[in-house]
A = this chain, B = another copy of it.
Amino acid sequence: MHQLRKPYLLFLADAQLKSDAKTAFGLRDWCAADVLGEWSLPAATVSLGLTRMAPAEAAQQGAGSIVIGVAAVGGVLPDHWLPALAAALDAGMDVVSGQHSRLTSFPSLVQAAQRNGARLIDVRHSDKTFQPGTGHKRTGQRVLTVGTDCALGKKYTALALTTALQAQGAKATFRATGQTGVMIAGEGVAIDAVISDFVAGAAEQLSPDNTPDHWDVIEGQGALFHPAYAGVTLGLLHGSQPDALVLCHDPARDTIEGYPDFPIPDLQEAINRYVEAGRLTNRAVRCVGISINSSSLSDAEWASYAARISVELKLPVVDPMRGGVDAIAKALLAP
């Protein structure tokens, strides 16, 4: 489990495109209270609209970590990003990265971290060891977002559902299983980086025993219908022991993204397969709603689509970006 030190200074490096700074925008939007400001190199043209703050100043104001909020080309940090990161370490802050290349592969950063007692945290990697899953039932309630594919809103839905549950007066905690999620939550585990034998065990550890009225809202990963990642999805599902599932779907996709030979299943079939698999570790698991990424639909198309599948599946159908997820929060809290 990663444990990050907040608040954050968001580092934009020399970003020219907003799309390269998705992580930074996500953190600004989803954990605004934990973000002190932004910092970038002179060549940057992207801004988050936050207070500009050099690392030393951010540290003085209490920043715990500088977070690399942009994707490096090829996943490898360019050398000219390193001085800003070393400055943050020298100011006593941790450096947090979601790049493929490890921060610890840069001797200058390792030395700066050592001389300041600061940490280099690669949230894409998992250096912690976990125990195998036990299958023991845990107290408290859990909802897991699952999907008909990768990258269609499972994290976003889980974050929105956490907020909606809290707004309705419920106790709820977002449980992060991917790198951006871990940065937002400040803790969690990048489940796809865990040794396969320990995925279910890591998922168990991620949502420990809690009070009976507490909801863990667990960020899903992958899809049972994905030829590369279904094993990750199944291990996370089994270890999470969810009481409830929310199925995430993008109606613009006919096949798994990047895998044109693999069709997206029918929604009822997808629900059946997730419930069948989830019953192994929680006999009472049920699907409580559908979260749609409807960005490809007009308002009229969305209204008609949502109405149709809600009737077909007898479940609330929402888009977190278009009206929110309150209907699913209500379904979870219904006695």
Contacts and interface: CB of A to CB of B under 8 A. Distances in A.
Interface of A: 132-135, 191-197, 199-201, 225, 227-236, 238, 259, 261-262, 280-281
10 contacts: A134-B259, A135-B227, A191-B196, A196-B196, A196-B235, A197-B232, A200-B228, A230-B280, A231-B233, A231-B238
Given A132-B229, A200-B228, 5 more contacts: A133-B228, A192-B195, A200-B227, A227-B281, A262-B280
Contacts of A235: 196, 230-232
Contacts of A133: 227-229
Contact of A134 (B134, B199, B228): B228
Given A194-B195, A196-B195, A280-B262, A227 B238 contact: yes
As for how many copies of this chain the complex holds, the number is 2
Contacts of A135: 227-228, 259, 261-262
Contacts of A201: 228
Contacts of A132: 228-229
Nearest to A193: B195
A307 to B, nearest CB: 31
Q: Which 4 A-B pairs have the closest CB atoms?
A: A231-B235, A135-B227, A133-B228, A192-B197
A234 to B, nearest CB: 4
A77 to B, nearest CB: 19
Contacts of A231: 196, 199-200, 231-236, 238
Contacts of A228: 132-135, 197, 200-201, 238
Contact of A200 (B134, B200, B229, B281): B229
B197 A193 contact: yes
Contacts of A197: 192-193, 228-229, 232
A139 to B, nearest CB: 16
Nearest to A273: B276
Contacts of A200: 227-231
A155 to B, nearest CB: 16
Nearest to A126: B195
A32 to B, nearest CB: 30
B229 A234 contact: no
A323 B281 CA distance: 37
A262 B13 CA distance: 51
